Amino acid sequence: MEELGFPDRHHLLAAEGWLGLGDAMEAELELARLSPQCLGHPTVLEVEWRIHSTRLDWEKALDAARCCIEAAPHLPAGWIHQSYSLHELGRTKEAFQSLHAIVLKFPDESVIPYNLACYSCQMGDLEAARRWFDQAVRIGGKATIKEMAEDDPDLEPLLPYIESL
């Protein structure tokens, strides 16, 4: 994947900085300064997804995630963002199905089984949720995954199990 040159890389880093400060508007203004040939770069598309998700504009976030998948299907971020956007749009079954379809493509990515646990939990399948959560723990480590789950409302029905680990 081609690296972004200057000044585009500078604007992308500035956009990420603004997002870190919670200012999606300034981040978007920085992305608007990018040269047109950079707009389809996976890193740019991921920042675009983050801007839309910060604004809770899940339709635009979904579009950005799908563009990210098209630009870099070999990277997990677009797939993860697509399913998360679908879930936030109330399309949890579709989110589960889209992520489940690629779980074997990224065997070392703990966020995928973690999100599948969340979606299973929300669809009422606690047994599947436990299996997916256990897989996330195997990949990402118990402490890290349990910390992620502490304040995750999607996993609330699974909390007694998580606390017992």
pLDDT tens by residue, 38-91: 889 999 999 999 999 999 999 999 999 999 999 999 999 999 999 999 999 999
- Which residues does 96 contact at the CB level (< 8 Å), separation at least 6? 83, 116, 119, 120, 123
Domain ranges within the chain, ordered by starting residue? 1-105, 107-165
149 and 162 Cβ atoms separated by less than 8 Å: yes
**CATH fold label, 1-105:** 1.25.40
**Whole-angstrom Cα distance, residue 114 to residue 32?**
34
pTM equals 0.92
The pLDDT value recorded for residue 6 is: 85
pLDDT tens by residue, 96-129: 999 999 999 999 999 999 999 999 999 999 999 9
